[in-house]
A and B are shown apart, each in its own frame.
Chain A
């Protein structure tokens, strides 16, 4: 479905070329769910952004359904079926949620109300709200996920979908990502949440800008447990058991 071949990426940071990704090779198959995990700053979002065409790789190819899409722009890749839910979605002054969802539906079919309901927001309360600072971080993030569900692309990349979302909707979020996954779609979730790692077919560990390991949850989890777990975890334990409903 989607493959990244020998991807190198350098980005300009304060007038300096900084290496971000180094010889990344990944193959994502149809019908499978993947988690991209790894420490902060390891290059997970950069992998997604290269796939979407937001970042142009310095070397290597992006191949989608057998076609080299390396030279295609963001819009063209989106229309071919690659979609990306941002880690930090931008806000838009004056733009109603309804308009954003309608733009997402332009190349798919469906209707606004259902996708909002799926991510736990009452459509009646939210369709006319504007995507500005009047919405909380969690609301913006949930609408971002609804937008990707509306777009319904063949390759769906969710970048830390759980960030800023409260516990109740975290469970619902996992459900909706899982239940909307189809035989002909590829789902990639960037995350280090244990519950998300539990639901996927394969976990890819990115470290220092390269793929350091691929495998099952059992193989990968011990490698990342330390950085994924909360530093305050012990304060949520009571006689060895976690008593707060921790999503981690």
Chain B
């Protein structure tokens, strides 16, 4: 039975109002509490370690929700999920973690996802993080996502964390086979004393494999962020890394993109920028009647859109 707080967290991270449509698994405070499999989309708890196996049959279309919520303090939840998207399937997978830390201890979730997108399949994966709590307990999230994108498959990742999470260390790894494509959007906003690290390693394995990594972040207060997106081409692949950060107040941002080719036909590009909100941007919006604070908010929300 979902409480009002559970529902609020689910809405924040997965836009859910009550029970999700399609197949789902809801994990709360270290336990699976509700689960539904459908024909061709099987969700089963792992026998040997915490976590689930999601098995999608070939040629299947549908939506799978696997949100995690934490509502207790002094809790560390580690979970291993294995997701297998069958050949030619078209799946939207909504993960994400919402933490309501009611006390002064830490509430931590480390989610390790291994995802295989088989030949010709298409996966849209979203992972939103949300944290709240006013008793001083930290909200900590350390997701690790490992992706295998087979020949001709497509994966789109949207990783979002806007405020509320005190500490995050994110690892994303992907291997993209011939003709496979990966598009990854990362959007991050930290404030106060929050820290966020993101390590990305994408390997373009075969001919015509392609990847695009678009990372946008805003660092406010005394928060700090580090980005290490790496793009490696073993074959004639194409890749583009774009890291763009708005820095404010006393925040710090480090951005270290790396591109690495081991084939003369590879084409890799990286762009990285860190800068404050331009004065002319604020003036333009204020000249439309917005206050300075409203103008700043509009610029940031557009940037993180």
Contact = CB atoms under 8 A, between A and B. Distances in A.
Interface of A: 52, 54, 73-75, 78-79, 83-84, 86, 88-90, 92-96, 99, 103-104, 106-107, 130, 147, 151
Nearest to B292: A75
Contacts, number: 65
Contacts of A73: 286
Given A99-B298, A103-B298, A92 B287 contact: no
A96 B303 CA distance: 10
B256 interface: no
Given A54-B283, A74-B283, A94 B288 contact: no
Contact of A74 (B216, B286, B305): B286
Given A93-B244, A94-B303, A95-B305, A103 B281 contact: no
A106 B289 CA distance: 8
Given A89-B284, A90-B284, A95-B299, A78 B289 contact: yes
Interface of B: 216, 244, 278, 280-281, 283-292, 298-299, 302-305
Nearest to A74: B286
Contacts of B278: 90
A107 B244 CA distance: 32
Contacts of A107: 288-289
A83 B289 CA distance: 9
B44 to A, nearest CB: 40
5 contacts: A92-B302, A94-B302, A94-B303, A95-B299, A106-B288
Contacts of B299: 92, 95
A99 B302 contact: yes
Contacts of A54: 283, 287
Contacts of A130: 302
B305 A94 contact: yes
Contacts of A78: 286-289
A130 B301 CA distance: 13
Contact of B290 (A75, A86, A88, A90): A75
Contacts of A106: 288-290
A107 B13 CA distance: 34
A212 B303 CA distance: 44
B71 to A, nearest CB: 33
Given A75-B292, A151-B288, A151-B289, 17 more contacts: A54-B283, A73-B286, A74-B287, A75-B287, A79-B289, A86-B284, A90-B278, A92-B303, A93-B244, A93-B303, A95-B299, A95-B302, A99-B302, A104-B288, A106-B290, A107-B288, A147-B288
B302 A93 contact: yes
B303 A75 contact: no
A94 B304 contact: yes
A151 B289 CA distance: 9
A103 B286 contact: no
A103 B290 contact: yes
Contact of B287 (A84, A94, A99): A84
A43 B129 CA distance: 51
A107 B305 CA distance: 24
Given A90-B278, A94-B303, A95-B298, A75 B286 contact: yes
Contacts of B281: 90, 92
A83 B305 CA distance: 27
A46 B95 CA distance: 53
A137 to B, nearest CB: 15
The 3 closest A-B pairs by CB, nearest first: A95-B302, A78-B289, A74-B286
A84 B244 CA distance: 29
Contacts of B285: 103
Of the candidates A74, A88, A104, the one having the most CB atoms from chain B within 10 angstroms of its own CB is A74
B244 A52 contact: no
Nearest to A52: B287
A74 B283 CA distance: 7
A74 B282 CA distance: 10
For B244, B281, B292, the residue with the greatest tally of chain A CB atoms inside 10 Å of its CB is B281
Nearest to A84: B287
Given A90-B280, A94-B216, A95-B305, A103 B288 contact: yes
Contacts of A94: 216, 302-305
A71 B247 CA distance: 30
Contacts of A89: 284
A85 to B, nearest CB: 9
Contacts of A103: 285, 288, 290, 298
A241 B289 CA distance: 47
Chain A CB within 10 Å — which of B286, B288, B290, B291 has the most?
B288
Contacts of A75: 286-287, 289-292
Nearest to A81: B289
| Residue with the highest number of chain B CB atoms closer than 10 Å, among A88, A94, A130 | A94
Nearest to A85: B287
A95 B283 CA distance: 16
Nearest to B293: A75
Contacts of B290: 75, 103, 106
Which of B283, B284, B291 has the largest count of A CB atoms less than 10 A from its CB?
B284
